[in-house]
Structure 1
Amino acid sequence: MLSRMQTLGNLFALLSLLCCVHADVVERFEDVPECVKYFYKEKVPEWGASAPGAARLCHRFSNRYHFATLYDTNHRIAVYAAYKFQPSNGGGREKRWFVEPQYLSRSDSQFKAEGVAALQLVDMSWQAEMKEGYWLGKDHPGVYQGERQALNEDYTHSGFDRGHLNPNGHHAVPSRNATFTLTNVVPQNPKLNQDAWRIHESRLADLFRDTCSEAFVLVGAVPSAGDWIVKNNVRRVNILEYLWNAYCCVDNNGVPVQSGGATARNTGANRVEQLSLDELGEFLQQFSNSPVGALFYNNCRA
C-alpha cells in the first residue's frame, strides 16, 4: 500500500511540474505573465516585431524567468533585450556561456517539410532552461546548436568582445548568471565595450539605485548592412552598426519620474550619445520602413 501511495504521490508531483513549465521560445511575450512583466505596464514595443526571423525568448535559469529578448535569427544577434534593474548582490562573473536548448532542436527545412512556421514550434521534449553548450552537446550528440543562434566559437579569435546587451552588472544572482546566454551578446568593439559603454552602464546603475523604485530597460542592436563574423566561409554573426538603450524609471506608485536613451556606434570611436526617448525613436526610425512607435507605455510619461 505504501509503495502504491508513493507512486501516486510521485505521479501527482510530476503532473504538477508539467502543468507549470513554460516554453523558452514563445509566440507572444504577452502570453507569459512571468515574461511580459519586464516591459513597463506590459507594453511590448513594436520595434523589430515584424522583422523576418524574429523570435521571442523568455530566458529561463534556476527554474524561473529573468528577462526577455526579441532575437533576430537571420543576423544571430538580438533586436533588443528587456529587463528590470536589480541592485547587484555580488556573486562574481559567470564563467560559462549558455545556449537556448528549445531553440535548436530541428532545422528550418524540417519545419517547412511539416508545413509549420519554423519560429512558432519547438521540441518540448528538450529542456526549457538555458544550458552550457558543451554539456548540451553531450546530451544531444550530433545536433548542430548554431543553426539559428550564435555559438561561443563564433566569437573566438573574431577580434570582437562578447558584449552583453542586458548587462550582468544590472542584476543580482541568479539573474546575473542568466545574462551569460549567447542570445544576449553581440560582437562589440572591445574599446567601446570595455570603456565608454561600460561607464555608461555603471552610471545608469547609479541612477537607478538613487532615483527609481523600479527601472525598466531596453537594450538593442542595429545590424550592419554587410559586416559579419565569418567562420569557414560562412557568415555567422552580424557585426552590429549601433548599440542603443532606453529606460523608464518609476516611483513607488509606478509613476514615471525619469526616462532617457543612448546610442553608440560600434567602433573604436568609443563615444556614447545621450538622447531623450523621442530623440531615440527618431534615431531608430532611420532603420525602419514602418513606424517605430513608443518603446514604453505612453513613452514613459506620467
Structure 2
Amino acid sequence: MKLLILGFMLQAFGYLAIGKVVESFKDSCPDFFINDPSDQNVHYPPTVLYDSQNPNRYKQICQQWNNEYRYATLYDTKGRIPVYSAYYYVGYHKVDKAEWKIEPQLDDPNLGPDMERENTIQTKDKGKNQALYGDYAFHTKDYTRGHLYPRCHNNDQDCAIATYTHTNAVPQTQADNNDWAHNVERKIEKIIQDNCDKGFAHVVTGAVPGQFWLDIKRDNIPVKEGVNIPEYFWTAYCCHDNESNALLSGAWLAKRNHKGLVVWKKTVKQLEEELTKLYGNIEGEFIMFGGLCQGRIISRFYYALTNLYFNFFSN
C-alpha cells in the first residue's frame, strides 16, 4: 500500500513540465496507474489502442488543470470520445459542478496544456479532433454528457472541476447516466470505502464505440462524422485489502439497449477478455492493471449484501 500511496504524493509534486497531450503515459503521468510491487518506478497503464489505418487516432492525455495533472485519458479523435480515464479514488467529499471545457492541444499542439472553456480558445481547427459544447446542445432532449471519471469520485474541488471536459465525456441518455451512477458508481464507491486500505484504489473507466453517431453540423471544420454514441460502458478497480493487504479487484460491464443498461459484475480478467473482443483493433490482449489484479474479488455474499443495501435505500 505504501507504494500506491507514494504514487499519489508524486503526482502532487512532480511531472508538471510536460504538455497535456503526451507521447507516453509512462513518461509523463505514470502515477495514475498501478505500479509494480517490486519496483515503484514501473507503472502499468491499460492497453493503448492503435489504428494502423489512422496512426494519430488515439491520443494520450495527462488531464491538467491549474498546472497539475488530475487524471489520465486515452482519447479517440475519430469517435470524439474517450476510450478510458484512469484516476485515484481517495475518498468522497461534496464538490460543486463546473463549466465544460476542452483540450486545446488536441486541435492545435501549440496551445497551452491546461484544459480551457472553448470560447477562450482561438484556432481555426477548434473541434476538429474532439467534441464541442454544441455537439451535445443539439441533442439535449436525448443525450447528456456522461462522465467517465465521475465528479463524485473525488474529495478535491480542483479534481472535480477537471472532470468537466469533453475529453472525459461520452453521450449517454439521462436514463443510462442514472442507471450507471446507481448500479455501478455508487457500488464501487462503497466497496472501496469498506474494503480497500485507507479507502484508496486505482480505477479505470471506459466506453466502447457503437454504430450510431450524434449528427453534428459545423461550418469550416472538416468533420466527416459526428460524436460516437458508445454501446458499452465499463469500469474496474484495484487496491490493497484493508485486512490482508492482498490485491483486491473487481469490474463491471454495461450494454445499452432500448430498455436501458444491462449491467454485469465481472472479475478484471473477465472484463479484459470481453474488451479484447469488443475493441478488436489491438495487438494481443487488452490488459487493465498489468496483470496484477485479475483474480480476487469481493465475495458473492458481500456483493449480495451491497446490492440489497443500495436497493433498499434508493427505493
Is contact 2:21-2:106 (8 Å) kept?
A: yes
Q: Say which of 68, 72, 75 aligns to 2:76.
A: 72
Residue from 25, 41, 44 that aligns with 2:21: 25
- Do residues 258 (structure 1) and 237 (structure 2) align? no
Query: Structure 2: which 5+ residue stretches go unaligned?
Result: 1-14, 36-42, 219-223, 297-315
Work out the CA distance in 1 between the residues paired with 2:113 and 2:169.
19
The equivalent of 1:113 in structure 2 is none
Alpha-carbon distance in 2 for matches of 1:49, 1:246: 21
Query: What residue is the counterpart of 1:216 in the other structure?
Result: 202
Q: 2:284 aligns with which of 288, 291, 302?
A: 291
CA deviations 1:51-80 (Å, max 9, x no partner) are 740100000012100100110111111111
Cα separation, 1, equivalents of 2:48 and 2:64: 23
Could you say if the C-alpha distance between residues 279 and 20 of structure 1 is closer, same or farther in structure 2, counting changes exceeding 3 Å? Answer: closer
Paired with 1:296 and 1:253, the residues of 2 have a C-alpha distance of 21
Structure 1 residue runs of 4 or more that deviate by more than 4 Å after TM superposition: 251-256
Of residues 98, 119, 127 in structure 1, which corresponds to 2:101? Answer: 98
For residues 274-301 of structure 1, the C-alpha deviation after alignment (integer angstroms, 9 at most, x for no partner) is: 1111211221122225322431133316
Is the CA contact 2:183–2:263 (under 8 Å) kept in the aligned structure 1?
no
Aligned residue in 2 for 1:36: 30
Structure 1 contact 196–271 (Cα < 8 Å) conserved: no
1:21 to partner: Cα distance: 2.5
What is the total number of aligned residue pairs between the two structures?
A: 258
Whichever residue aligns with residue 105 of structure 2, its letter is: Q
Partner of residue 309, structure 2: none
Once residues 229 and 37 of structure 1 are traced to their aligned partners in structure 2, the CA distance between those partners, rounded to angstroms, is 34
Q: Are 1:45 and 2:31 matched, yes or no?
A: no
Contact 1:99–1:132 under 8 Å retained in 2: yes
For the residue of structure 2 that corresponds to 1:31, the secondary structure is helix
Looking at structure 1, the residues matched to 242 and 182 of structure 2 have their Cα atoms a distance apart, in angstroms, of: 28
1:189 matched to 2:173? The reply is yes
Tell me the distance in 2 between the aligned counterparts of 1:85 and 1:299: 18
Are the equivalent residues in 1 in contact too, given 2:72–2:87 (CA < 8 A)? yes
- CA shift in 2, pair 1:92/1:195, >3 Å: same
Match of 1:60 in 2: 64
What is the root-mean-square deviation of aligned Cα atoms in Å?
Answer: 2.3
Deviation at 1:217, TM superposition (A): 0.8
Fraction of identical pairs, as percent? 32
Given that 2:63 and 2:72 are in contact with CA atoms closer than 8 Å, whether structure 1 keeps it comes out as yes
Q: What is the TM-score of this pair, normalised by structure 2?
A: 0.76
Decide whether aligned partners of structure 1 residues 293 and 102 sit closer, same or farther in structure 2, where only a CA change above 3 A counts: closer
Give the equivalent residue in structure 1 for 2:138: 157
Amino acid corresponding to residue 65 of structure 1 in structure 2? Y
Q: Secondary structure at the match of 2:26?
A: helix
2-side partners of 1:55 and 1:254: how far apart?
38
TM-score using structure 1 length: 0.79
Bigger Cα displacement from structure 2, 60-69 vs 153-162:
153-162
AA aligned opposite 1:48: L
1:230/1:294 Cα in 2 relative to 1: closer, same or farther (>3 Å)?
Answer: same
- Structure 1: 5+ residue stretches without partners: 1-18, 106-121
Following the alignment from structure 1 to structure 2, what is the Cα–Cα distance between the partners of residues 200 and 68?
Answer: 20
Q: How has the CA–CA distance of structure 1 residues 174 and 256 changed in structure 2, closer, same or farther, with 3 Å as cutoff? A: farther
Q: Which has the larger radius of gyration?
A: 1
Query: Offset at 1:252?
Result: 7.2
Contact 2:216-2:227 at 8 Å conserved across structures: no
The answer (yes or no) to whether the contact 1:47–1:292 under 8 Å persists in 2 is no
- Partner Cα separation in structure 2 for residue 181 and residue 47 of structure 1: 20
Deviation at 1:250, TM superposition (A): 1.8
**1:45 partner letter:** P
Query: Quick check: 1:25–1:55 contact (8 Å CA) kept in 2?
Result: yes
Instruction: Provide the secondary structure at the position in 2 that maps to 1:272.
Output: strand
